[in-house]
A and B are shown apart, each in its own frame.
Chain A
């Protein structure tokens, strides 16, 4: 009679792989190994950049064709005499309006009042993040364009985020709504009071820490970057406005909710400020 015997090999495999994973995570959290993983990520992003562009070039016309077909059907129901040429003209008009809007946005980005004399690199947002667990966007410029790690990124309205991965031709930007984002800011009369704005994830309001209780903060109060020495952001960039404030859970701090001034959910073009703390 055969004796029931369960192989231990899969469990050993699992144990080894779990230990390997934990080791990798631990090493990545420390300095030296992180440079290796960051380099690998850069290589992967650079390798996939042309693949993404190629697939987008193939998929976009198909999507446009299907959208056009649906649109044509709806119009035909409304008016039987509508001809395909009119559809084409409308499509061209839409494309023209789209181009004009892009031009306006790019032109506006080139003349953002709060940027001052800082050198900027305009970029197109190519992807809204690769993870469901982090608020990031990918942009179309990288180290070849002068972009470096931790450089600030601005858009229409104000601060968008910070470069957290700079590849050769693309970069990843951590938005100010991300849970890891913290921005030193000033506010109040004369913009003399200091605070820190923290993100809490996509779609969630920002919060401001270090705001003393009973600080008058009517909705609409604007917070701007502090620009303190060695700060990661240059000063006077609008960041967010107050939506509500109340006495916080602690006795010494006001609970302040804010919304970003830049429209982070519809980002199309942004500008990377070629700025470092030593600038």
Chain B
């Protein structure tokens, strides 16, 4: 990653955290507010593959943890797992398909919240498993699905072009991967 790309990624993460800490905290549906920081590893996984997804999940997660009362590092842990998972599970798919980002954002956000709650509970925060997880998952997943395409454009602008990391070389040479 070049200095220019690193600066762009920093800018995008700063934009996301600003929107999250201002507009999204005021946008409450019942006791739940959206969490767009999850979108970063998801779309990074789509744009750059599993390695980029994991790295973005870790970095953006650490930044998100600065503003959360939950254990420091938990968002980074779940973020890198989710980013990697999205990258690896969508390798074989047509990443230019319009339906993929919203569907991936919806599914990955739901998975993120469940893992986050379970791991938090294991790490000495038992109340995290007792929240209305269905409501949290629904609100976060739906909002992230709606915002997936603009997020993809932003992260696509910041990250290097689609990576071929983790793909069988025979597949790459045959030109089936976009």
Contacts and interface: CB of A to CB of B under 8 A. Distances in A.
B76 A21 contact: yes
A4 to B, nearest CB: 4
Contact of B80 (A21, A179, A180, A203): A21
Interface stretch (A39-47, A85-93, A209-217, A269-277): A39-47
Scoring A10, A48, A128 by chain B CB atoms within 10 A of each residue's CB, the highest score goes to: A10
A200 B28 CA distance: 21
Interface stretch (B2-10, B99-107, B127-135): B127-135
Contact of B127 (A4, A40, A41, A179): A179
Contacts of A118: none
A48 B67 contact: yes
A132 interface: yes
Interface string B20-61: 011101101001110100000000000001110011011001
B96 interface: no
B175 interface: no
Contacts of A255: none
Interface in A26-58: 28-29, 34, 37, 40-41, 44-45, 48, 51-52, 55-56
A130 B25 contact: yes
A2 interface: yes
B127 A200 contact: yes
Given A18-B77, A28-B73, A179-B125, A132 B35 contact: yes
A148 interface: no
B69 A172 contact: yes
- Which secondary structure characterizes the binding site on chain B? helix
Contacts of A266: none
B67 A25 contact: no
A51 B21 contact: yes
A7 B18 CA distance: 36
Contacts of B173: 2
Contacts of B132: 203
A5 B127 contact: no
Given A5-B168, A14-B81, A25 B58 contact: no
B88 interface: yes
A10 B69 contact: no
B136 interface: yes
B170 interface: yes
B169 interface: yes
A40 B32 CA distance: 26
Contact of A48 (B21, B81, B171): B21
A10 B23 contact: no
Contacts of A196: none
Contact of A10 (B50, B77, B171): B50
A10 B57 CA distance: 13
A160 to B, nearest CB: 15
Interface string B71-112: 111101100110010011000000000000000000000000
B128 A179 contact: yes
Given A4-B168, A25-B72, A128-B28, A13 B55 contact: yes
B69 A130 contact: yes
Scoring B66, B71, B123, B130 by chain A CB atoms within 10 A of each residue's CB, the highest score goes to: B66
B154 interface: no
B44 to A, nearest CB: 12
B67 A202 contact: no
Contacts of B169: 2-5
A59 B26 contact: yes
B166 interface: yes
